[in-house]
Amino acid sequence: MSGPSVTRAARAGMTLIELTIALTVFGIVITSAVAFAASQNTAFQTAIHRMSALRNVRYAVSMLDQDLATLGTNVPTEQPTLLYGAADVVVFSADYATNLTPDAFAVFYDPDAPAGQVQAPTTAFTVPTTAMTLPDTTYAPGGLPSPAELITFYFTPDTMSARTDDHILYRQINGGTPEEVARNLFRVGGAPFFGYERSVLDSLGSLLMESVPDSVLPLWHEAPIHLSPADTGRAAWADSVRAVRVQVAGSNGLTGDQERRVEVMRVITLPNAGMRQLSTCGSAPLLGSVSFGALLTTNMAGDPVIDLTWTPAVDEAGGEADVVRYVLWRKVNGAADWGDPYLAIPAGAATYTYVDASVTSGYVYQYALAAQDCTPTLSALSASPLVVVP
């Protein structure tokens, strides 16, 4: 007796027609999937390129926004706040950084700030991309530089680019070395990078804002001293500026079909423009005939140090009683000026002592002392005798 038979239908596989249909359907599915993945990849790359361009221009504008908003902070009355405003460069005064602690008057504390970049410049310098020279007026009393430095932002063509419309944004403190902020930046159409809004009085005596025509740029505070007899007319237009308009396009740095640009326009208000230092503490503080001594001694290790001692100022112990701190300067004998402040000591002690251990053998040092009130305004300087470090 034979076993169960197996029919031909049970043994048969896919027919040629069925296989062809299956392969065709599979091919359509794969083709669609690949096309979808390719489109997603293209969209992803496009988004990346656009984000790169957006990040680039946002960083440039945010730096301008952060720094321009400090214009006018802790600026003496005689110092102009906006010194120069053109289509591609702006120069303004601000007590932006200090290397002194404690110092409640500067915007930022930076102990590593380079020398000469925490106060008004002591030498004249030329505005980048122009032939204009800014003065070396110190503005503060006693021949000391104002604590407000000059900050410059400027756009200049990128000489490393093959394009003729590619620009770099630089930032410069006083006449120091410029620092690159961002590159791959472009004008938006024919618009200037910087525009200006000023406060004016209408016929009824009401304040309103009007755009400064591009045709009258640059605005240049030609009078070195604010509110001086020469600070009138067109020379004083810069004093009425209350906002800076920034218009710029950023690129991802690529060319051809891969280039993406993002345009940004922002109006940066200047909250401190027009706000001058007021003598809220009264007159400038009087240091008086303090006993300011500088004595060479040695520390426990036998190394030379200089002991500085002084008594309270007239306006701390009495008078207006408004002295909040003392500022000291140090220079090597023969130096042209006092340079940056060396140290700040809070007021409030019966007597004051500071030991300067960072002295070098073979040098001759001299120190200067000033009292500062809450305005803040400095008193006249009191200089110490020369100290020879053997």
Query: Do 187 and 199 form a contact (C-beta atoms < 8 A)?
Result: no
Q: Name, in order, each residue with C-beta under 8 angstroms of 118's C-beta and a sequence gap of 6 or more.
A: 97, 98, 99, 100, 106, 110, 147, 149, 340, 341
pLDDT in tens, the chain (390 residues): 555 555 555 555 667 777 788 778 777 878 777 766 666 555 545 444 445 556 888 889 999 999 999 999 988 888 899 999 999 999 999 999 988 876 778 888 888 888 888 888 888 899 999 998 887 787 766 567 888 999 999 999 999 888 888 999 999 999 999 999 998 999 998 899 999 999 887 677 777 888 999 999 999 998 888 878 888 877 788 889 999 999 999 887 777 777 778 889 999 999 988 766 666 677 788 888 888 999 999 999 889 999 999 999 999 888 888 898 899 999 999 888 888 888 888 899 999 999 999 999 999 999 999 998 887 788 888 999 999 999
Label the pairing between strands 387-388 and 364-373. antiparallel
Q: What are phi and psi of 69, to 5 degrees?
A: -65, -15
Give the model's pLDDT for residue 44: 46
Please give the helix or strand (H or E) that residue 327 lies within, else none: strand 323-332
Q: Name, in order, each residue with C-beta under 8 angstroms of 234's C-beta and a sequence gap of 6 or more.
A: 216
- Domain residue spans in the chain? 71-269, 293-388
Give the model's pLDDT for residue 330: 93
Nearest CA to 53 out of 243, 278, 249 is that of 249
Assigned token pair, 281:
């503490």
Q: Which string of b and e fits 231-257 if b means at least 16 CB within 10 Å?
A: beeebbbbbbbbbbbbbbbbbbbeeee
CATH code 2.60.40.10 for 293-388: yes
Distance CA 53, CA 33 (A): 30
Query: Do 290 and 272 form a contact (C-beta atoms < 8 A)?
Result: no
Distance CA 240, CA 84 (A): 12
